[in-house]
């Protein structure tokens, strides 16, 4: 597990790519409980106790529904497991580093916590673009464009399905 953690950290720091992830379903089976746990902790800190599991399932579904068609239409479906594992694994890494900022924002928000969250969102975008770039064998700008599209679409879908995320009641 240490080697996988180090691999996803290296992907998140642009030292490796999704092609370095083993194309084994076992990797995803190892990642999913960690992904669920870290995201549940984040949602717990944000007070979304009642819908946490559903939000995590939808979030995972959105990653799958973004990666699979993208790889399928580009003729690179064989890279699906590696790309999905890279997206989930780096999400775990970035979410882990987000925990202190989220806890700070929920207890006594300050400018440093807001800046940290902005930096983490930017990092997530860059890492997602890096993964997409390698998965599709395209330019970094192409990967960043698709990553921005994914982040915007998933944010809109999550906000529509779970209005408590935005604090707006419908």
Mean pLDDT for back-to-back runs of 10 residues, the chain (170 residues): 93 97 93 96 86 94 97 96 97 96 88 93 97 97 97 95 65
Number of domains making up the chain: 1
Q: Is residue 75 part of a domain?
A: yes
Let me know if 59 is exposed, middle or buried by CB neighbors in 10 A (0-12, 13-18, 19+). Answer: middle
Q: Is residue 139 part of a domain?
A: yes
Beta carbons of 115 and 104 less than 8 angstroms apart: no
* Predicted local confidence at residue 168, as pLDDT: 44
* Predicted local confidence at residue 108, as pLDDT: 85
Query: At which residue do the structure tokens 């580009």 appear?
Result: 74
* Pairwise CA distance, residues 170 & 161, whole Å: 11
Domain extent, residue 158, equals: 2-165
Q: Is residue 170 part of a domain?
A: no
Q: Is residue 90 part of a domain?
A: yes
Q: What pTM value is reported for the model? A: 0.91
* Predicted local confidence at residue 107, as pLDDT: 87
Going from the C-alpha of 166 to that of each of 21, 46, 159, the distances in angstroms are: 34, 11, 6
* Pairwise CA distance, residues 108 & 158, whole Å: 25
The DSSP secondary structure of 37-83, one letter per residue, reads HHHHHHHHHTT--TTHHHHHHHHHHHHHHHHHHHHHHTT-GGGHHHH
């Amino acid at each position: 597990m240490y080697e996988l953690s180090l691999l996803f950290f290296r992907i998140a720091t642009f030292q490796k790519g999704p092609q370095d992830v083993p194309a084994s379903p076992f990797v995803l089976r190892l990642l999913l409980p960690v992904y669920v746990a870290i995201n549940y902790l984040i949602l717990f800190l944000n007070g979304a106790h009642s819908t946490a599991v559903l939000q995590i399932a939808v979030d995972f579904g959105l990653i799958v529904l973004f990666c699979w068609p993208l790889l399928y239409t580009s003729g690179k479906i064989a890279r699906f497991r590696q790309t999905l594992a890279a997206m989930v694994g780096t999400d775990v890494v970035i979410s882990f580093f987000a925990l202190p900022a989220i806890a700070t924002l929920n207890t006594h928000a300050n400018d440093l916590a807001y800046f940290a969250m902005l930096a983490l969102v930017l990092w997530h975008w860059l890492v997602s673009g890096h993964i997409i770039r390698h998965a599709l064998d395209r330019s970094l700008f192409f990967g960043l464009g698709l990553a921005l599209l994914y982040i915007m679409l998933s944010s809109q879908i999550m906000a529509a399905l779970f209005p408590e995320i935005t604090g707006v009641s419908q």
